[in-house]
Amino acid sequence: MPEQIITLDIDGQAVSVARGCTVAAALAIARNHAAVVTRRSVSGELRGPLCGMGICQECRVTIDGVRHRLACQTICTAGMSVITGGSAQ
């Protein structure tokens, strides 16, 4: 059976990933495997996935309007909207 591909929106960019992919993995794909920045700390530091298992909570993003979702623990769904708020600029 061929792999099913779904598309979601990450910071306004359409990203296609394999069904079953986590949001953290989709972020890496969207950024072409560059450093993934998901948010800024209260002091302005860039933050991103660290542990990959939900302990550190550094991968928090807004998914479909719900803030503080863990990208490493959330499976992508078709049409999902992800906002990172971690612009590296």
The answer for 20, left when phi > 0, alpha when psi is -120 to 50, beta otherwise, is left
Mean model confidence pLDDT for the chain: 87
Q: Band the pLDDT of 89: cuts 50, 70, 90.
A: very low
Q: Which of 23, 19, 25 is nearest to 1 (CA)?
A: 19
Architecture of domain 5-83: Roll (3.10)
* 11 pLDDT more than 60: yes
Quick one: pLDDT at residue 35? 67
* 4 pLDDT more than 60: yes
Record the pTM: 0.85
pLDDT digits (tens, 9 = 90+) for 28-66: 998 875 567 888 888 988 888 888 898 989 899 999 999
